[in-house]
Amino acid sequence: MIKASGHYIVTKRGKKATCLEDGKTDGSYCSICYEDIVKQEVVKALGHTEVIDKGIEDTCESIGLTEGSHCSVCDEVLKKQEIIDDIKHQYEKGFCI
């Protein structure tokens, strides 16, 4: 009778979930019979963590920005801030009012 050699366990490295992509837990399998020893599980994507980027008021001396937002985890811009440059100098008696 030949004694069974047992499993030769190989680790399958997991992958962290990101804001947009699913990840996987660590797992392992036997390199001889390919039986899963520890099955990998899917870790759902986390989704963005939104941060509001406050708008800046337009003045006659500086341009402004509309309100926007980005993800605090991956820094992806979720809502782009737009430039506001509508106010011009208005002079009265040589001074900007």
Consecutive H or E run containing 79:
strand 77-79
Mean per-residue pLDDT over the chain, rounded: 90
Mean local confidence (pLDDT), 68-84? 96
Residue 62 is predicted with a pLDDT of 81
pLDDT at 4 over 90: no
The model carries a pTM of 0.65
| Whole-number pLDDT of residue 58 | 84
Q: Which of 42, 9, 47 is nearest to 28 (CA)?
A: 9
Tens digits of residue pLDDT in 21-39: 999 999 999 999 999 999 9
